[in-house]
Chain A
C-alpha cells in the first residue's frame, strides 16, 4: 500500500493553478517535493491533509480517501511540520506536550522528552523567544512523539543553519528505518532532498514536471559541455534543456540517447532541477 497517492489533483486560485498533479509516495520511502517559492508545494500539502478543498482529482493517504470520515482517524498516524505555522507563542515546550497529549491518542511523553533533550529544546522558554531553528525542532519533536507512520514536512529545513539541518535530516533517516514509515518532505533546498530522499517530485508553476526515483534521475540525466554546432546535430529528444555561456553551451541530456563517444558529466539533482526550471533555451 502506498503512503500517499495523488491522482490528477487540481486546485484553482486567482492567478495560480495546481494543475492535475499526480504522484505516489510508496510506504517506507522519502519523497522530496521540490520547487521554487510559489510552485504549489504548500498547496499540495494542504490538499493532502484536506485543509483546503480541491477542485478536481483524488487523494488517498495511508489507504483512505482524505475527504472521508475515516481520514480523521488517519490523522493520528500523520506527523505534521509546517513552515511558519506554529503553536501559540505564549506556550512553552512542556505546555505544548500537555496539549498534544490531549490531542493524539498515542502520544508518548517519554519519546517527546527524549526528543526535547536530543534536540536541545528548552522546556520552560516560551515559544515567542525561540529561534526559527528551535521552532522547527519543537514542531518535529511533536510530530515524532505520537507514533506516526507518515511525516509531512513543509519547508522544515529552510532558514536553518547547516548543523541544525543535518540533525533534522539524521532524524528523518532514523524514522524511515521502520519499513512502515514514510516521509513527504517539501523544500526548495535541493541539496537537503538529495541527501535523504528516495523519490523526487518537481513542481514548477503548479505543474508536476517530474516524479522519479532519485538514483534513476541521476543516472538518466547527464551534462554535456560543447559547442552549439555539436548540439545541433543531436536529436530533439536527447536534449532536455540548454544554457548558453561565454565559453560554449551546457546541455542537460538523456544519457542513454547521447551519441556513443560523446563526453558526458554526472550531474547533481540541483543542476537537473535548475535546468528544468529555468535553464532552457530549448526545453
Chain B
C-alpha cells in the first residue's frame, strides 16, 4: 500500500505544489466558499491519479505485482482522505494564525464550517469513486459533473432551512457535526465495498 501511495504522490507532485499555493491563498481570504473549493478539489485528487493510471495502463501492471485489487481501490480512497484532511488542517491552521495576528478570535462556527465542508467533500468522494472505477475517468467525470451540479442545487435549496434549524436551536451545531461525521463514515464504508466489488469484476 505504501508503494501505491508513494506512486500517487509522485504522480500528483506537480499539481500538489500548485495546489498548496492555491489552498494557502484561499485560506487567507476570509470566505468559506473559497475554502470549500479547496476541499472539493482535494476530494477530486484521486480522479486525477486514476486518469494518469489509465493513460499509462498502470493497473494492468499493478495487478501483477504483489498488490491485491482491494489495495489498488483503497489507495485511491486514502489519497482523497489525506487530501481532504491536509486541506482542512491547512485552512484551519491559517485561519488560526490570521485570528491570532488580527486579534479576532476564531469562532466555533468557522471551525464547524470547515469541518462540515470536509465531511461534504468526503461524501462527494465516496459517491464519485465507484463511478470512476466502474466507468473510467472519461465517462465517470460526466457523472461527477452531474453530481456537483446536483449538490450545489441541493445546497442552495437547503442552506436557508439548515440555517433556520440551527438558529432556532432545533439542532445544535455539535449534533449537526455528529450527523455529518456518521453520514460521511457510513457512505464511505459503503462506497469502498461497492468499489471493491466493481473493481474485482473489472477487466483491467
User: CB of A166 within 8 A of chain B?
Assistant: no
Interface pair B6/A80, CB less than 8 Å apart: no
Interface pair B53/A80, CB less than 8 Å apart: no
A46: chain B residues within 8 A (beta carbon): 60
Interface pair B64/A80, CB less than 8 Å apart: yes
Interface pair B66/A52, CB less than 8 Å apart: no
* CB contact between B57 and one of A75, A86, A91, A99 (< 8 Å): that residue: A86
* Residues of B in contact, count (CB < 8 Å): 25
Interface pair B10/A103, CB less than 8 Å apart: no
B56: chain A residues within 8 A (beta carbon): 85-89, 127
Identify the interface centre among A99, A101, A104, A127: most chain B CB within 10 Å of its CB. A99
- With known contacts A99-B7, A102-B6, A89–B52 Cβ distance under 8 A: yes
A86: chain B residues within 8 A (beta carbon): 56-58, 61
Residues of B within 8 A of A (CB): 2-4, 6-7, 10-11, 13-14, 52-53, 55-58, 60-61, 63-68, 203-204
B204: chain A residues within 8 A (beta carbon): 51
Interface pair B58/A51, CB less than 8 Å apart: no
- With known contacts A85-B58, A90-B52, A91-B7, A78–B64 Cβ distance under 8 A: yes
Q: How far is the CA of A83 from the CA of B27 in the complex (A)?
A: 45
Residue ID in chain A nearest B201 by CB atoms: A53
Q: Give the top 3 A-B pairs by smallest Cβ distance, nearest first.
A: A102-B3, A103-B3, A85-B60
Residue ID in chain B nearest A76 by CB atoms: B66
Looking at the assembled complex, report how far the CB atom of A140 sits from the nearest CB atom of chain B, in whole angstroms. 13
Looking at the assembled complex, report how far the CB atom of B69 sits from the nearest CB atom of chain A, in whole angstroms. 10
* CB contact between B10 and one of A49, A72, A95 (< 8 Å): that residue: A95
User: CB of A82 within 8 A of chain B?
Assistant: yes
User: CB of A249 within 8 A of chain B?
Assistant: no
User: CB of A100 within 8 A of chain B?
Assistant: yes
Interface pair B66/A72, CB less than 8 Å apart: yes
Residue ID in chain A nearest B65 by CB atoms: A103
Chain A 15-41 per-residue mask, 1 if CB under 8 angstroms from chain B, else 0: 000000000000000000000000000
Q: How far is the CA of A109 from the CA of B2 in the complex (A)?
A: 17
15 A-B contacts (beta carbon < 8 Å): A75-B64, A75-B66, A84-B57, A85-B57, A86-B57, A87-B58, A88-B11, A89-B52, A89-B55, A99-B6, A100-B3, A101-B3, A102-B2, A102-B3, A103-B65
Residues of A within 8 A of B (CB): 46, 49, 51-52, 72-73, 75-76, 78, 80, 82, 84-91, 95, 98-105, 127, 152
Residue ID in chain A nearest B49 by CB atoms: A88
Looking at the assembled complex, report how far the CB atom of B64 sits from the nearest CB atom of chain A, in whole angstroms. 4
Interface pair A82/B66, CB less than 8 Å apart: no
Looking at the assembled complex, report how far the CB atom of B92 sits from the nearest CB atom of chain A, in whole angstroms. 30
B65: chain A residues within 8 A (beta carbon): 75, 80, 103-104
Interface pair A90/B10, CB less than 8 Å apart: yes
Q: How far is the CA of A78 from the CA of B63 in the complex (A)?
A: 12
9 new A-B contacts at CB < 8 Å, known A49-B64, A105-B66: A46-B60, A51-B60, A82-B61, A84-B57, A85-B60, A86-B58, A88-B53, A99-B10, A100-B3
Interface pair A51/B52, CB less than 8 Å apart: no
A75: chain B residues within 8 A (beta carbon): 64-66
Looking at the assembled complex, report how far the CB atom of B24 sits from the nearest CB atom of chain A, in whole angstroms. 23
Looking at the assembled complex, report how far the CB atom of B98 sits from the nearest CB atom of chain A, in whole angstroms. 34
Q: How far is the CA of A132 from the CA of B63 in the complex (A)?
A: 22
A99: chain B residues within 8 A (beta carbon): 3, 6-7, 10
- With known contacts A88-B7, A98-B6, A102-B6, A49–B55 Cβ distance under 8 A: no
Looking at the assembled complex, report how far the CB atom of B144 sits from the nearest CB atom of chain A, in whole angstroms. 21
Residue ID in chain B nearest A139 by CB atoms: B61
Q: How far is the CA of A84 from the CA of B61 in the complex (A)?
A: 10
Interface pair A72/B68, CB less than 8 Å apart: yes
B67: chain A residues within 8 A (beta carbon): 103
Looking at the assembled complex, report how far the CB atom of A179 sits from the nearest CB atom of chain B, in whole angstroms. 24
* CB contact between B63 and one of A51, A84, A102 (< 8 Å): that residue: A51
Q: How far is the CA of A76 from the CA of B66 in the complex (A)?
A: 6
Looking at the assembled complex, report how far the CB atom of B56 sits from the nearest CB atom of chain A, in whole angstroms. 5
B55: chain A residues within 8 A (beta carbon): 88-89
Q: How far is the CA of A102 from the CA of B52 in the complex (A)?
A: 20
Q: How far is the CA of A229 from the CA of B193 in the complex (A)?
A: 70
- With known contacts A82-B61, A103-B3, A91–B66 Cβ distance under 8 A: no
